[in-house]
């Protein structure tokens, strides 16, 4: 089974289209799957729409990282996929993420900056910040990542359990990437096309969350 985990907060205009796009793609693949929405107590109709479309809905009061960890832990699937709710991640790329894990990789990370990848939804400041963090992680941890702060990813459930993730906020992808390397997981990056968010504004705060990512990079130097 494939478990697709989607953190949400005030995404009523996007979540329905996101779930429908997943269902359409998974029908083509013909594999058993579940959609898990982990919501930060939205005051709009996000969870009502998700439930109506058959998603399993959980609640988490903290942030993106905490929501993903909670969703991953209760997922029934042998393959776990993290995906955003704002239609920036294309459902058409799900087969690539799933195939990579089915063909022997412990994890597969979408990259906007590898050959074939692209983004329509990143400011110049965030692009520079992401490039700096990628260079820093590659230098400190001897990795070869091309993208770091992007959430379209897949894992073997057995591999996810080895990561012991703790980050509650937007540092979660950075923690995933670093710990995957430290734990010796077999990881592949694939090109991903990040579309512009369809409705609403991102919950990411450039400077505040940039500091969280930097803190995560440094703190993991001292963790076994």
pLDDT per residue as tens digits for the range 26-68: 999 999 999 999 999 999 999 999 999 999 999 999 999 999 9
First to last CA, the chain: 32
| pLDDT for 209 | 67
Cα–Cα distance measured from residue 168 to residue 60, given in angstroms and rounded to the nearest whole number: 10
pLDDT tens, position by position, 61-112: 999 999 999 999 999 999 999 999 999 999 999 999 999 999 999 999 999 9
Helix boundaries (H) for the chain: 15-29, 46-52, 64-74, 94-102, 124-141, 157-163, 172-182, 206-219
β-bridge partners, 193: 118
Q: Contact, 193 vs 93, CB < 8 A?
A: yes
The domain limits of the chain are 2-222
Q: For domain 2-222, give the fold.
A: Spore Coat Polysaccharide Biosynthesis Protein SpsA; Chain A (3.90.550)
- The predicted structure's pLDDT at residue 205: 56
Give yes or no for a contact between 69 and 36, defined as CB atoms under 8 angstroms apart: no
Task: Kindly report the pTM of this predicted structure.
Answer: 0.91
Residue 124's pLDDT is: 75
CA 161, 141, 189, 200 torsion: positive or negative?
positive
Report pLDDT for 155.
97
pLDDT at 196: 82
Check pLDDT > 60 for residue 204: no
Mean pLDDT of all residues in the chain? Answer: 92
CA 26 centroid distance within chain: 18
User: Could you tell me if residue 131 is left (phi over 0), alpha (psi between -120 and 50 degrees) or otherwise beta?
Assistant: alpha
C-alpha to C-alpha distance for 206 and 224, rounded to whole angstroms: 29
Backbone angles phi, psi at 119, to 5 degrees: -140, 140
Report the share of the chain in percent with pLDDT over 90: 79
Residue 212: predicted pLDDT? 84
């Amino acid at each position: 089974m494939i478990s697709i985990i989607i953190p949400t907060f005030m995404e009523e205009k996007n979540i329905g289209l996101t779930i429908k796009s997943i269902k359409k793609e998974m029908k083509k693949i013909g594999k058993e799957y579940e959609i898990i929405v982990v919501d930060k107590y939205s005051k709009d109709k996000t969870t009502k729409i998700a439930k109506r479309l058959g998603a399993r809905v959980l609640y988490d009061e903290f942030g993106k990282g905490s929501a993903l960890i909670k969703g991953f832990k209760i997922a029934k699937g042998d393959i776990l996929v993290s995906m955003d709710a704002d239609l920036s991640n294309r459902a058409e790329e799900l087969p690539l993420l799933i195939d990579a894990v089915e063909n022997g990789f412990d994890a597969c990370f979408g990259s906007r900056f590898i050959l074939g990848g692209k983004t329509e939804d990143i400011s110049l400041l965030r692009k520079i910040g992401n490039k700096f963090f990628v260079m820093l992680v590659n230098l400190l941890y001897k990795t070869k990542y091309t993208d770091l702060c992007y959430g379209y990813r897949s894992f073997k459930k057995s591999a996810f359990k080895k990561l012991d993730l703790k980050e509650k906020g937007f540092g979660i992808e950075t923690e995933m990437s670093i710990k995957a390397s430290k734990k010796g997981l077999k990881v592949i990056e694939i090109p991903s096309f990040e579309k512009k968010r369809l409705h609403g504004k991102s919950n990411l705060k450039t400077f505040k969350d940039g500091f969280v990512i930097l803190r995560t990079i440094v703190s993991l130097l001292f963790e076994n």
